[in-house]
């Protein structure tokens, strides 16, 4: 059997009981390590699971999937994914490859940022399309996310922004020369995300959102006392400290219940400003 197992959000203990029992009987265990990260080292997983864990980077998953799937029809193989197995389309592709080879597949689900974002106090029912915000470069400043945010906000829905991570990335020069030299990992912060969002808004000028738009910054969701949630305007949150990765941002739409306003006040970085924006922009 080929198992795709969600690990949850934070550390080695977030795996489900079913997932842990499965991992412990597998012959090989891979950890997908580029669409997201846990907040602990691989050795913590190995100690807790009681078995070796092989790190599967982007190159292995996308170009060497045969290595992962080798003899998975005869022995149990686990592929571990931070969050939920289907939080990234790459994992659907791996499942399809397995089934094409006649390998039975079982999925073991877990919590992901897609549902844990509800910790910020707004209802999951009122989230629209999720968008990814990637690091800008000097020559590449994509703004395709803007249209999706516009669609969400046009019908009052919130937008979950997933922030870029760069793990085991190569410079263009090293890539062109075939040198296996990798850049240090980088994780986008909420501050960088907001800077890029406001840059795109300034360029587009359609006022889909502004520095006065309400948002919630969430960091290390599910990590207990290390979790951070802060609500305020984009302008306010841009200057807040959210600590280490991983970070996400929720842009609020207009569909908010009075209980949601009460929750946002609990996380406010400036209650007077929050109440001012609520009174100005939201109906009661």
Q: Please say whether the beta carbons of 240 and 257 come within 8 A.
A: no
Query: Is the full-model pTM beyond 0.85?
Result: yes
Which residues are 284's β-sheet partners?
Answer: none
Taking only the tens place, the pLDDT of each residue in 161-197 is 999 998 766 566 666 666 766 667 899 999 999 999 9
Number of domains observed in the structure of the chain: 2
Percent above pLDDT 90 for the chain: 78
- Boundary-marking domain end, from 78, 111, 144: 111
Whether residue 133 is preceded by a cis peptide bond, meaning omega within 30 degrees of 0, is no
243 preceded by cis ω (within 30°)? no
Indicate which CATH number applies to the domain containing 152: 3.30.950.10
| CATH number, domain with residue 71 | 3.40.1010.10
Q: Are residues 32 and 157 in the same domain?
A: no
Instruction: Indicate the Cα dihedral angle 185, 188, 189, 194, nearest 10°.
Output: 160
Q: Comparing C-alpha atoms, which of 222, 238, 16 is closest to residue 114?
A: 222
pLDDT of residue 269: 97
User: 147 and 91, same structural domain?
Assistant: no
For residues 144 and 195, membership in a common domain is answered with yes
Residues 52 and 181 in one domain: no
- pLDDT by residue (tens digit) across 27-36? 999 998 777 8
Nearest in space to 31 (alpha carbons), one of 5, 53, 63: 53
Residues 105 and 125 in one domain: no
pLDDT in tens, 77-113: 999 999 999 886 678 888 999 999 999 999 999 999 9
Q: Where a domain ends, among 69, 92, 111?
A: 111
State the Cα angle at 161 between 141 and 136, rounded to 5°: 15
Residues 6+ apart with CB under 8 A from 276: none
Structure tokens at 40: 């602990």
Do residues 80 and 180 both lie within one domain?
Answer: no
Task: Specify whether 96 is located in the same domain as 175.
Answer: no
Identify which of 145, 166, 165, 164 has the alpha carbon closest to the alpha carbon of residue 251: 145
Residues annotated within a binding site: 9, 84, 87, 112-113, 163, 221, 247
Domain boundary among 111, 137, 161: 111
Query: Contact at 8 Å (CB) between 1 and 104?
Result: yes
Residues 64 and 118 in one domain: no
- 97 and 139 in a single domain? The answer is no
CA pair distance 148, 3, nearest whole angstrom: 33
Q: What is the pLDDT of residues 119-150, one digit of tens each?
A: 999 999 999 999 999 999 989 999 999 999 99
Question: Which residues line the annotated binding site for S-adenosyl-L-methionine?
Answer: 9, 84, 87, 112-113, 163, 221, 247
Q: Do residues 25 and 81 both lie within one domain?
A: yes
Q: Both 82 and 25 in a single domain?
A: yes
Residue 247, by phi and psi: left (phi above 0), alpha (psi -120 to 50) or beta?
beta
Range of the domain at 85: 2-111
Task: Give the residue, 94 or 200, on which the prediction is more confident.
Answer: 200
178, 264: one domain: yes
């Amino acid at each position: 059997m080929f198992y795709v197992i969600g690990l949850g959000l934070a550390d080695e203990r977030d795996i489900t009981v079913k997932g842990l029992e499965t991992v412990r009987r597998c012959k090989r265990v891979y950890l997908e390590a580029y669409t997201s990260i846990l907040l602990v080292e691989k050795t913590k997983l190995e100690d807790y699971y009681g078995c070796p864990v092989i790190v599967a980077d982007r190159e292995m998953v996308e170009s060497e999937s045969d290595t992962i799937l080798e003899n998975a029809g005869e022995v149990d193989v686990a592929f571990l994914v931070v969050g939920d197995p289907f939080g990234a389309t790459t994992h659907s592709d791996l499942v399809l490859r397995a089934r094409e080879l006649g390998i039975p597949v079982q999925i073991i689900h877990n919590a992901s940022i897609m549902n844990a974002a509800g910790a910020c106090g707004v209802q999951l029912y009122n989230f629209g399309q999720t968008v990814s915000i990637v690091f800008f470069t000097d020559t590449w400043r994509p703004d395709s996310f803007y249209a999706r945010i516009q669609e969400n906000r046009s019908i009052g829905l919130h937008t979950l922004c997933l922030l870029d991570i760069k793990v085991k990335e190569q410079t263009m020069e090293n890539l062109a020369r075939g040198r296996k030299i990798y850049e240090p990992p980088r994780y986008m912060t909420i501050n960088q995300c907001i800077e890029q969002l406001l840059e795109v808004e300034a360029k587009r000028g359609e006022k889909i959102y502004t520095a006065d738009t309400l948002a919630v910054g969430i960091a290390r969701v599910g990590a207990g006392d290390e979790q951070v949630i802060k609500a305020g305007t984009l302008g306010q949150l841009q200057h807040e400290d959210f600590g280490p990765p991983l970070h996400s941002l929720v842009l609020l739409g207009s569909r908010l219940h009075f209980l949601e306003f009460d929750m946002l006040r609990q996380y406010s970085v400036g209650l007077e400003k929050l109440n001012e924006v609520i009174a100005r922009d939201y109906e009661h």
